[in-house]
Amino acid sequence: MSTTTHHRPSPPAPWRSTFESHVSSMPSPEFIFATVAPSSSSSSSPTPYVPRLRYCIYRGMWSQLPENKHNTAPKNPRVYDSDMPTFTTDVRMQK
């Protein structure tokens, strides 16, 4: 008895083509991700929240990341598709 299941691929997310079109038209796929955080009690901020910024770089969709020449491990076959964007940031940057 076989326990193999057949999975029908999902259609792409409705926002994917617009997102990829916008990213591909950028000179460099970088952006600033902004959040707010509670200010510390010792802060001189006039508001209870302060902004936090982080520079991010779009690397591609999860299953379609570009090859890394420094990674010599065997590659998995490209049999999956994903609508999950992947970003990197430098851990040395303060938020």
pLDDT mean over 85-94: 76
* Amino acid 48: pLDDT: 85
pTM for this predicted structure: 0.64
Q: Which residue has the higher pLDDT, 80 or 57?
A: 57
Query: How does pLDDT run across 8-63, given as a tens digit for each residue?
Result: 778 889 999 999 999 999 999 998 889 998 887 766 767 888 888 888 899 988 88
DSSP codes joined into one string, 25-54 = TSSS-EEEEEEEEEPPTT---SSSEEEEEE
Cβ 32 vs Cβ 58: under 8 Å: no
